[in-house]
Amino acid sequence: MLRLWEAAEVAHVERVLLECAKEANSQVNERLLGKGGRTSPELCKTPVDPKVPGVTWGMKLGEEKHAAALECVQRVLGATDAGRFSLEPRYLKDSRTGQTRWLDPREVAQWLADGQFHLLVGSIVPDVVLHALGNPLSVQAVYDFKFPCPVTNPPRWDRYTEGPFANKWQNDIYQQLLGSARRPSLIYPNLGTP
């Protein structure tokens, strides 16, 4: 029998995700911008290194906060809910069967080590997936962390620019491939889950 998440448990997880987003936001800002450091529209657009203009402070802060939030989620939920959620799982729609496959992280790591990037084309990687115990294909809820820069900007889903999902919204593809009963949700530090 598959152990699914109860409504109260989902609400608890959502509180943890929000607290982890807030914690990641403040800790990374303090570490990279100094005590009491805050983002601004100007800072967010400024290159981290003038020699590499394509990488802005907004991008760097977002990556760092994303990693910190995932580490927080693992620390808080990992011991109690192991096997019932996944962090950054990778899914791929099988072109032969039309079914969504969960990709084993060891298999993905091997493909990457072997330079077989083409095998990952069309895969998706949501940040947090709640699923039945031991079954990452029995999806109940999907969450993505977003760290707008500055934090006063509204969070938004990304639109794919290339590949099989070109011009489609990230949340729509998550819903299409994972089919959870709930729409995918954004988690962000200033407002929580919309």
Q: For residue range 114-135, what is the model confidence (pLDDT) as tens digits?
A: 999 999 999 999 999 999 888 8
Whether this model's pTM surpasses 0.85: yes
How do the domains of the chain map onto residue ranges?
Answer: 7-187
Over 70: is that where the pLDDT of 191 sits?
Answer: no
**Cα 172 from chain centroid?**
15
Rounded mean pLDDT of 44-48?
A: 93
Mean pLDDT of 149-178: 93
Terminal Cα-to-Cα distance of the chain (whole angstroms): 32
Query: pLDDT confidence of 149, banded at 50, 70, 90?
Result: very high
Asked if pLDDT for residue 5 goes beyond 90, the answer is no
pLDDT value of residue 42: 94
pLDDT, residue 6, reads 84
Which pLDDT score, from 0 to 100, does residue 50 have?
A: 86
**pLDDT of amino acid 41:** 94
What pLDDT shows up at residue 40?
A: 92
Confidence at residue 134, expressed as pLDDT on a 0 to 100 scale: 85
- In this predicted structure, the answer to whether residue 109 has a pLDDT above a threshold of 90 is yes
The overall average pLDDT reported for the chain is 90
